[in-house]
A and B are shown apart, each in its own frame.
Chain A
Amino acid sequence: MIDRIGEVIEASTTRFRAQREELDNPPAFGSFVKVPSGPDITSYAIVYNVYETSIDASRRPMAMGLTEEELKAQQPQIFEMIRLEFEAAIVGFKDQGGAVKAYLPPWPPRIHAFVGACGPEEVISLTEDLDFIRAINALPGLPTDELIAAAVRVAYQNRDCDAEFLVKAGQEIAIMLKEEYERARSILRRVGHVG
């Protein structure tokens, strides 16, 4: 059973949008999430966008000049009007046999499917094959450089900060971008900045 962090409200083969019921603890940029996509298939995706919007599209929120604490005390209804949504790009899936693949699943998730956070084992098995970096790089219209760096950092932290993994991932990036040395360097700088 998925430990729910959201529910799909819009889906396509490559990405989906999900809504979260509470405003606290939004999923982090670059974190790995999972969602069922068809019979016995779990898709894995990387969060690339998180945003808060007004429930009522016709009413724009206004600046109030109060701190969050003051707002909560004086205008609690405001928070009822806000909802939290996030978008994730699908980078792989677990097939019926339990094998993890770093490419797109045959079907998108269904609307109203529950989205869960991936645990360390899932992150590790999904990122074992460094092709996940290429999968991210191939996503159109996204801040892929930032996303690659963030995903690599998450995968690294889920591996108890294995420096060897970080170097290998860095090399994968360098090979992938061998024609774009400066771009590779800038991603690597962001990858290298881990605690």
Chain B
Amino acid sequence: MSDKAADRRILGQITKGSLISGLQAKLSDNVDIEDVRIGTFAVVDGDRNRFFSLLKDVSLASTNEDILLTPPTDDFDRRVHLGVSTYYELSLQPMLVAEKDAPGATPLPSTTVPPHFSTVFEATPEDVEQVFGKVDEFHPSVGSPIFMNPTIPVCLDLRKLAMRSNALFGRSGCGKSVLARIILGYLMQTDAFVNLVFDMHNEFGWTATSEEGGSVDSLRKLLGQRVAIFTLDPKSPLYGHGQAYDFEVQVPLNEIRCSDMELLGAELALSQAQRETMYKLEERWGEKTWLARFLKLEPQEIEGAAEELGATNVETLKVLSRKLGRFKKLPFLKEAVSDDTVRRIRDYIGAGKHVVIQFGRYNDLLTYILVANILTRRLHEDYARDTDAARAEGREGPTPLIITIEEAHKFLDPSVAGSTVFGAIAREARKYRLVLFLIDQRPSGIDDEILSQVGTRIVGKLDDERDIDAALSGRPNQGTLKVLVNNMVERQFLLTGYALPMPVVIDAKEYGSFCKEMQATGGRVRGELERRKLELTGDDELEL
């Protein structure tokens, strides 16, 4: 263990600070200011304790106001005054602390500060390990601390991750989907949780497209049959060449409620009058039949229907008919379905398999929101019922389920979060063994209360100030974290929250190396899976 102070690169010495606002250090003369980077993981050695900290700011300081009024003009002058009249100051936020002579001790939240003139060092791989632990099945590495060697692992505690709803935020193209694949892949590999992924852009199935336009292996290819592919678009070019789907999703019209339409408010641009009319239809024609019946109305029948409903504007009904008419073009919406999708999902997850629902060419928001909402609502009902029953009988409930949704703000904006199933799941925490994994570009669109329930946040580059604020809302040291997020680039993520001992900015793991890892463990894992499947089902009903 290279713990001797001599092996460590010195960054500076503590000069002042406080626990709340952070520490100030004078940069060492032999460190080039241009090599100092915000987000660096640093340690401060006090007399007895080591403080694990994040570098949050670098500033220029001077001992004399006069030099600022008449700054040095030539190179000699500048070199003379550097480090004498002017110097650089580092701002650090201490996060965790551990006793120095107890190597391997678990660092705890910092409750004090190091003494004056304590030395600030760049963190070593040993420091990273002391804080983030060693890699194992339940603690996979998802990346490395920025500015450190990419082989140094930052491990995510999967058990803690799966205990709460989580979120992955970042602007388009920052690497959310890739990192989500990596995290989901590791979650799936443990066999301790099951996953349901609403795969809007067809990236979590057999393959995904890379930035360069090529195709890379995705979850089904990497994890084999433990991942089942459900699709709304069986004719999509995604399938074929030995890459089959497992189940065709059909949604019966009788499961679409008026309340589902609320979520589609923006997509359908429904007016208040149109929504009221819709509720009237549901009330008069029945919860299960109203939509099928309404969609079948011929234009000449609309006036008659308006009369039947009473006090209904014919024009409103006509517009509504045109708007909901979009559903007629969706082939997976059927009056009668050949198989019940939710039951099938239950079968698969009951057997410890993961389900990826792909949207094929129907990857518009309207379809995505509608389908994700309907299926999740029923699953939630099932899970709630089963969990309650199991609890009453003193059994263990269903396998914990993690539901991944993209465009999360569409499901959880403040106007709908109170009434949708997603809002309910997020608020119930783990009561029914169901949690969400939210992926979104616009965290500011998500209801605050929901955000406050999110256990672990993974925040990529965001441009909008409001999004950054929302993504970090309620986190301790929000100011520091905000600076870090402001300084990130693509494929860098701030990890903060329940599944991590302290916040850290990482370079996400290279997807290629993740794939290699999965392929290397794939054999062992598949053998294990076969064994478990037999144990779980006792027959080959699920053989695909």
Contacts and interface: CB of A to CB of B under 8 A. Distances in A.
Interface of A: 166-167, 170-171, 173-175, 178-179, 181-182, 185, 188-189, 191-192
A15 to B, nearest CB: 29
A167 B79 contact: yes
Contact of B81 (A166, A174, A182, A189): A174
Interface string B24-63: 0000000000000000000000000000000000000001
B79 A170 contact: yes
B83 interface: yes
B273 interface: no
Contacts of B74: 192
Contact of B70 (A178, A185, A191): A185
B67 interface: yes
B64 A192 contact: no
Query: Considering residues A174, A178, A179, A188, which has the most beta carbons from chain B within 10 angstroms of its beta carbon?
Result: A174
A110 B79 CA distance: 43
29 contacts: A167-B76, A167-B79, A167-B80, A170-B76, A170-B79, A171-B81, A171-B83, A173-B80, A174-B80, A174-B84, A174-B85, A175-B84, A178-B63, A178-B64, A178-B84, A178-B85, A179-B64, A181-B64, A181-B66, A181-B70, A181-B85, A182-B70, A185-B70, A185-B77, A188-B76, A188-B77, A192-B74, A192-B76, A192-B77
A173 B67 CA distance: 14
Contacts of B80: 167, 170-171, 173-174, 188
B111 to A, nearest CB: 37
Interface residues of B, number: 14
Interface of B: 63-64, 66-67, 70, 74, 76-77, 79-81, 83-85
Nearest to B63: A178
Contacts of A182: 66, 70
Contacts of B66: 181-182
Contacts of B84: 171, 174-175, 178
Mostly helix, strand, loop or mixed at chain A's interface?
helix
Given A170-B76, A174-B85, A181-B64, 12 more contacts: A170-B77, A171-B80, A171-B83, A174-B80, A178-B63, A179-B64, A181-B67, A182-B66, A182-B70, A185-B70, A185-B77, A192-B77
Nearest to B66: A181
B72 to A, nearest CB: 8
A191 B80 CA distance: 11
Nearest to A176: B84
Nearest to B77: A188
Contacts of B83: 171
Nearest to A172: B84
A133 to B, nearest CB: 13
A13 B70 CA distance: 40
Contacts of B81: 171, 174
Query: Considering residues B74, B79, B80, B85, which has the most beta carbons from chain A within 10 angstroms of its beta carbon?
Result: B80
A106 to B, nearest CB: 34
Contacts of A178: 63-64, 84-85
Contacts of A175: 84
Nearest to A189: B77
A192 B85 CA distance: 17
B83 to A, nearest CB: 7
Nearest to B86: A174
A9 B495 CA distance: 80
B160 to A, nearest CB: 52
B76 A166 contact: yes
A56 B63 CA distance: 55
A179 B63 CA distance: 9
Contacts of A167: 76, 79-80
B84 to A, nearest CB: 4
